[in-house]
Amino acid sequence: MHDDRSITEHRLRRVLKERIKPAVHTLAVPLTVERWEAPGEPVPAAEGLAAPYGPCAVGDVWGPAWGTTWFRLTGTVPAEWAGRTVEAVLDLGFDRMMPGFQCEGLVHTADGAEVKALNPYNDWVRVADRAEGGERVEWYVEAASNPVLVDHAVTYEGDRQTSGDQPLYRLARMDLTVFETEVWDLVQDLEVLYDLMVQLSPGDARRYGILRAIDSALDAVDLADVPGSAAAARARLAGVLAAPAHASAHRISAIGHAHIDSAWLWPLRETVRKVSRTASNMLGLMDEHPEFLFAMSQAQQLDWIKTYRPELFERIKKKIADGQFVPVGGMWVESDTNMVGGEAMARQFLYGKKFFLDEFGIETRNVWLPDSFGYTAAMPQIVKLSGSTWFLTQKISWSQVNKFPHHTFWWEGIDGTRVFTHFPPVDTYNSDLGGEQLAHAARNYQEKGRGSRSLAPFGWGDGGGGPTREQLARARRQRDLEGSPRVEIERPDAFFEKAHAEYADAPVWAGELYLELHRGTYTSQAKTKQGNRRSESLLREAELWAATAAVRVPAYDYPHADLERIWKVVLLHQFHDILPGSSIAWVHREARATYAKVRAELEAITGAAQRALAGEGSAELVFNCAPHARGGVPAGGAAPAVAAPDPVSARDREGGGHVLDNGRLRVVVDARGLIVSAYDIEAGRESLAPGGAANLLQIHPDFPNMWDAWDIDAFYRNNVTDLVDLDSMRRCEDTPQAVTVRVVRSFGASKAVQSLTLRAGAKTVDIVTEVDWHESEKFLKVAFPLDVKAERTASETQFGHVYRATHTNTSWEAAKFEICAHRWIHAEEPGWGVAVLNDSTYGHDVTRDVRADGGQTTTVRLSLLRAPRYPDPETDQGEHTLRFSLAPGAAVGDAVREGHWLNLPERTVRGAAPVAPLVVVDDDAVVVEAVKLAEDRGGDVIVRLYESRGGRARATLTPGFAVSAAVESDLLERPLPGSEAVTGPGPDGAVALALRPFQILTVRLRRA
């Protein structure tokens, strides 16, 4: 037989595009269109409905960037359409290739009820399934003119303060039409069969069977009367559509989804509208298609609907009760997991799962993080302690170098906890259920022969939209179709239960799920990251002192509502495009203002609690919020400070520079203002490599191949400029307690002022760097070349630390050329090490080199600032204050302690008497992460601790108040059955603790 495949395929493509698809909507009658421009920010629907409307017509331009235009649409269904299915086609000027990234609309009735949303793949509104003729139509469309910002070009449209005022869109169509159901079904039949056919091998007989059926169906289509011939054409396809799938066909559990970024190329306020638009469409699909299930994560987004669209929220609650609308994930937002602090990660689950329980009575069992930029090795334990069972991600498929070896596996965290994890082989969280994607999922699935099923979230996402009726049609046709994977719409929990039962002995992946991409997100938007770190620290302080005051001071009321509200604000800003710095300028401008407000509120809560605790008096009391004693002040208590016994001395260095000495460290600053020696006097050991200089600012070009704010590519290292030119250097603040050397440098259009301080009794050199940054596409780092032979370094992560190799033996290690650390990174050889600490920096890199003398230099660098141009062209421009420290002779325990001290500064308050800690732990390896009152407001005290050094620990927790019971709890403060980690309290009130390495322990102390 002659090979005529290409002829039939080309014929199908043309007939579909030019004849069949245009015949889905026929007999168009234009609607009357009027408009009103909402001034400023979006207005409530009632205001939009009551506004004065003016004339408008199809073809008119509308919508400046970030504006809202209301359209009033009126018309009458022609009498001759009686008995026909009638829809309106409302095209605001859509680009069909960019759902979620352009203009969108929400249709309201005249009384304000929401009808459905409009987007490129949802530009229709059903008027009647069987029209009577003469029906009057009146709708109001709230249209958002969001600018298109996806092309990675430098633009100032990403902030309303800098965007233009020219209209961005042109009304394309506003018609009443007849919807030809049989034609629409023919389109779905042909598209599903074509997509399947082209995925089959040219030697597969099934491919030719489909080809001949399509050819025959096209013969049956009367191009002059497509609606009249559609049924006959469909009849010729019925046989190939009825052929069942192979017994061994891959099984895909499809779940409707709309991954909506809580902020990204749009501000938070627009996300509020996006989630409402998407949810309204999903509810309509559920009404029309009982088999349709839709999964929605992010409690924050549902809370927005509850707050701003209460009538929509009530409809959602009903669909949740019916089982069609499925809450998943259990977190407040789909947060970043690299940089979020340990306690904040616990609160993501506390407030997320609590919302689902309180509002819907549902305990979510899966963790849903498809799009975050890598996953901390602390996550499995946190997942388990939240009461969750399964974990889902997608983003690891984006890795540039190494293909992840599993799709279904057990993920093991730093403490040994394992969680059953799935990584969908469809390689997208926005599947369209097309034949290409389904075939890819089946081919790509790496558990063949052991497992047989995977999950596919389908629906338009990122900017929202969700599944469409066309995607549901694909699911129906591919439920049991020869040559295709079997597709079944089902809940994620059902998938996980089946996958676990089938593959309980899945392989184990231990450690972090490192994304070999988007490494620049550890650094971009430094003020957002600083705001997050400081908010986390301030929340710790506020809760500790408020809980202490609530227990000790009868008149003090614990501010439950304020703290919960503030926590939720901070958790929202940990979303994986806000904290990582990959959102538009508007988002980060608002974040800076929000963090300033959060700081003011938390300072007020802390101040009020401390004053209540200190009482009236004139004594200077130092409040120590850190989990370790310092300066004679106990952890979590207040007392007069004790001066260090040995003063700091300073002298000029021969040849220029200064020498600082406090009896524990001797620090030499040379004539360039660089640290050339940091000598551990107690150990008799130099910490810096011979000939090396620490606190060396270095600048690199920074122009990645793509994803400016997200990425740094390894080739940036090929060019480096050491910033050694000096404007000035002088010693200042010489006191017995501290000596500071102030260094000023200018470079490019920027300036850096550094204060290098050695304090009495300290084993750290503290560096405050004030940068007025005005570079473009540059990367600022600071280097510490250490004389340490380290095969690996330890980086603090949530509730512990993770080790990473310093060598690049394999492609997996080489790919980690930029890494994330929290408060510290530590390099050691047996018996001696060095820590580099910071107060708001996350990006680091570590390299090793063997010197001519045979020694190894391990260089630790902190990534301070970047200057990408997209999506915020002014990223990091302006003034920054960054703090970091060098700690020679530090063990991991010292790094833990010094990291907390740097991030939790003391506060001095005048009062009457010292304040005893609310709780005391007698082992420094066991760190108190949080002290607060219980969420149920019953007055119990919650203490969260963890083992911080990677070893077993036995400790005693001594409450400073009468306790009737001590119970190990999960992150939602519920008792954990079968716990052996907590014993007591004994007669003296002490509680015995037994922790495995890196174990997180939440203890609920019931007040007697």
* For residue 798, pLDDT beyond 70: yes
Predicted local confidence at residue 765, as pLDDT: 98
DSSP strands (E only) in 134-226: 136-145, 169-170, 173-179
Beta bridge partners of 826: 794, 835
Q: ∠792-795-799 over CA atoms, to 5°?
A: 130
User: What is the distance, to the nearest Å, from the Cα of residue 832 to the centroid of all Cα atoms in its chain?
Assistant: 37
Predicted local confidence at residue 44, as pLDDT: 95
Sign for the CA dihedral angle at 695, 697, 700, 704 comes to positive
3-class secondary-structure state, position 134:
coil
Q: Closest Cα to residue 101, out of 483, 462, 505?
A: 462
**Res. 720 pLDDT band, cuts 50 70 90:** very high
The stretch 693-701 carries a mean pLDDT of 98
Residue 406: CB partners within 8 Å, gap ≥ 6? 423, 446, 447, 506, 507, 509
DSSP state of 730: E
Query: Strand 136-145 and strand 104-109: pairing?
Result: antiparallel
Rounded to whole angstroms, how far apart are CA atoms 805 and 791?
A: 6
Sign for the CA dihedral angle at 684, 689, 691, 692 comes to negative
* For residue 530, pLDDT beyond 80: yes
Q: Is 394 exposed, middle or buried (0-12, 13-18, 19+ CB in 10 A)?
A: buried
Q: Annotated catalytic, 725?
A: no
pLDDT digits (tens, 9 = 90+) for 92-109: 999 988 899 999 999 999
pLDDT digits (tens, 9 = 90+) for 638-680: 999 888 788 999 999 999 999 999 999 999 999 999 999 999 9
Q: What percent of the chain has pLDDT over 90?
A: 97
Tell me the HSE value of 513 on the side-chain side, using a 13 A CA sphere.
34
**Res. 993 pLDDT band, cuts 50 70 90:** very high
pLDDT digits (tens, 9 = 90+) for 572-603: 999 999 999 999 999 999 999 999 999 999 99
**Res. 3 pLDDT band, cuts 50 70 90:** confident
Query: Strand 843-850 and strand 919-921: pairing?
Result: unpaired
- The phi and psi torsions of 874 (rounded to 5 degrees) equal -110, 25
Phi-psi region of 525 (alpha: psi -120 to 50; beta: other; left: phi over 0): left
Evaluate whether 608 touches 597 at the Cβ level (below 8 Å). no
The stretch 343-361 carries a mean pLDDT of 98
Q: What is the dihedral of CA 583, 585, 586, 587, to 10 degrees?
A: 30
Q: Which position among 123, 195, 303, 371 bears the catalytic label? A: 371
Residues in the chain: 1008
Determine which helix (DSSP H) or strand (DSSP E) holds 285, and give its type and residue range: helix 268-288
Span between the terminal Cα atoms of the chain, in Å: 90
Evaluate whether 794 touches 696 at the Cβ level (below 8 Å). no
Strand order in the sheet with 919-921: 919-921, 953-959, 991-995, 982-983
* For residue 169, pLDDT beyond 70: yes
* Full 3-state SS string of 943-984: EEEEECCCCCEEEEEEECCCEEEEEEECCCCCECCCCCCEEC
Predicted local confidence at residue 36, as pLDDT: 98
**In this structure, how many other beta carbons lie within 10 angstroms of the beta carbon of residue 246?**
12
Evaluate whether 154 touches 870 at the Cβ level (below 8 Å). yes
Determine which helix (DSSP H) or strand (DSSP E) holds 38, and give its type and residue range: strand 32-38
Q: Closest Cα to residue 874, out of 583, 576, 580, 531?
A: 583
Q: Which residue has the tokens 């122009």?
A: 703
Q: What is the dihedral of CA 756, 762, 763, 769, to 10 degrees?
A: -20
